[in-house]
Chain A
């Protein structure tokens, strides 16, 4: 692991260096909000951003992804499409890096998902520690996602006029190996790093009324709670909460036929457990007919089912589902209610 320093004045030069290695995707302004998009002009990069509308992992698991070309008359001519390109995700907040780690785990779990893994194998992640809360809904302190154990190639920490950089992987080392404008960190930088992290710790507030590790058992105890009915009455089943989530990965598969009707592509598209027909089975029976059941399933999938399978929560505390819910359903409120806050 190396520790380096990048002056903010040199960020454009750094982006240009990265562009030599692949497509650089980072936060940029879109109207009053921010999105992860390709950074062609380094001036477009907006590293000081609260959070983006969609998480960057959506560049690894796109809204619509082609799985195979087909010939309508000849199945043997079906040709798999496994896409990917050298990609550098730059300025990824730590909670979103954790979101990528979670999808890595899900899609590399047997049976492997070749489509996701092909994109992932060509992707480098440059993480960025937030200096403070990004919204009133983020749970990163409670979830422990304000700092990272791994899952990135480089980690940037804002020291005001410069970024402190940790290298984590060989790929990360290579990205900073021949960059003249980076300098090794000095004791002064390290002291500034310590202060920045102290300020971060002081500015982040816990939002949960109880310990986060009680969530799986508290939710299970609350399975039949009236809370779900109350949420179900407000929920419009618009699916926004699942569309903006960094760890939602449910999908559907659909065929698109070309105009000549002879060939086409089979695609997978994001789907949502919040849609009414998602859990319908043959014969029309629906195992999660009510919005209350579907919202409960969403939270259970994040905190109970994935916890039982992988030993970790699948909520990274980014707060997007709360911030963007058109019915003002707040994850924090639901968690606090089950935790007895």
Chain B
């Protein structure tokens, strides 16, 4: 026993944080601007936090804002389980608990001086937005920024106002699609891989970052490989239900990998042979 480390403070205790602003993005998703009472979060793009409401429990939520922005951070929350339902009922001023940030975050140094292709489906825009905003803020460090975004329906598009602004923003190319055209949608219709025909990428200079529902990855990766993008330059955030964030509880385990600690961002070349990963 002498060799074991001494017990330290429990890592399960959440820090008090406050909801500063609430903005309904879609019927199911709401953006919460949050601040921890005594410090700034200090996250990296694509990291997540455990959001806690006493009496309800905890849920892992991706941080959706750029790490360089301010003392506050954004959480884009889909109303899907008991915690997220309870969170949607909270108003600005309400208190929540935060643990984290957890996970490895995106290795931003690996995309410097490259053409960056963001491919995101549905709620995948929530974590990827933290990286997209970071790249826009540091636009001079990248040759080109291209975003492909696919949603199921027009009404399910997240950050609609921001998408409109990005569309006009010369710093980035944005291509959008929906699976089902409704409500007067005049844009592209089809699964996200159909957007690849709209862009030219330089395979030797491009880094792709993919975030979306599990079913999306294999099809998008096929497209990327078909266009000659190297396996080591395809990054993806693999979401699992991360309960403790500490690499112990086992829920997010993907073979021998604890996604909450070693992920959620992985390089395709690392995980292509990991069963249960994709």
Contacts and interface: CB of A to CB of B under 8 A. Distances in A.
Chain B at the A interface: mostly helix, strand, loop or mixed? loop
Interface stretch (B7-15, B166-174, B191-199): B7-15
Contact of B14 (A78, A115, A223, A252): A78
11 contacts: A75-B15, A75-B95, A113-B248, A251-B249, A253-B58, A255-B56, A266-B54, A283-B214, A287-B214, A287-B240, A293-B276
B243 interface: yes
Contact of B10 (A114, A250, A300): A114
Interface stretch (B157-165, B200-208, B221-229, B251-259): B251-259
A271 interface: yes
B246 interface: yes
B20 to A, nearest CB: 15
B97 interface: yes
Given A107-B248, A278-B251, 8 more contacts: A78-B54, A106-B248, A108-B4, A115-B12, A121-B4, A250-B251, A257-B55, A304-B256
A256 to B, nearest CB: 9
A261 interface: yes
Contacts of A76: 16, 37
Nearest to B278: A287
Interface string A53-93: 00000000000000110111111101111101000000000
Given A106-B248, A264-B55, A285-B213, A80 B80 contact: no
Q: Which of B15, B54, B255, B256 has the most CB of A within 10 A?
A: B54
B57 A253 contact: yes
A281 B10 contact: no
Given A250-B249, A253-B249, A278-B251, A78 B241 contact: no
A198 interface: no
Q: Which 6 A-B pairs have CB atoms at the shortest separation, nearest pair first? A: A250-B250, A305-B256, A75-B16, A70-B54, A117-B7, A118-B7
Contacts of A293: 276
Contacts, number: 156
A118 B8 CA distance: 8
B1 A121 contact: yes
A251 B80 contact: no
B96 A75 contact: yes
A71 B246 CA distance: 24
B4 A117 contact: yes
Contact of A251 (B240, B241, B244): B244
Interface residues of A, number: 64
Interface in B1-54: 1-2, 4-17, 37, 52, 54
B89 to A, nearest CB: 14
Interface of B: 1-2, 4-17, 37, 52, 54-58, 78, 80, 95-97, 123, 213-215, 239-241, 243-244, 246-251, 253-256, 275-276
B247 to A, nearest CB: 7
A308 B258 CA distance: 13
A111 B11 contact: yes
Contacts of A79: 13
A185 B95 CA distance: 65
B57 A254 contact: yes
Contacts of B214: 281, 283, 285, 287
Given A111-B246, A117-B6, A121-B4, A68 B13 contact: yes
A151 B62 CA distance: 40
B54 A72 contact: yes
Given A280-B241, A285-B214, A75 B97 contact: yes
Nearest to A264: B55
Contacts of B123: 282
A211 B71 CA distance: 57
Given A68-B12, A251-B248, A304-B256, A223 B275 contact: yes
B256 A309 contact: yes
Q: Which of B97, B213, B249, B251 has the most CB of A within 10 A?
A: B251
Nearest to A285: B214
Contacts of B4: 104, 108, 117, 120-121
A49 interface: no
B5 A75 contact: no
B10 A67 contact: yes
Contact of A271 (B2, B10, B250): B250
B58 A273 contact: no
Nearest to A266: B12
A112 interface: yes
A215 to B, nearest CB: 15
Contacts of B253: 273, 279, 301, 305
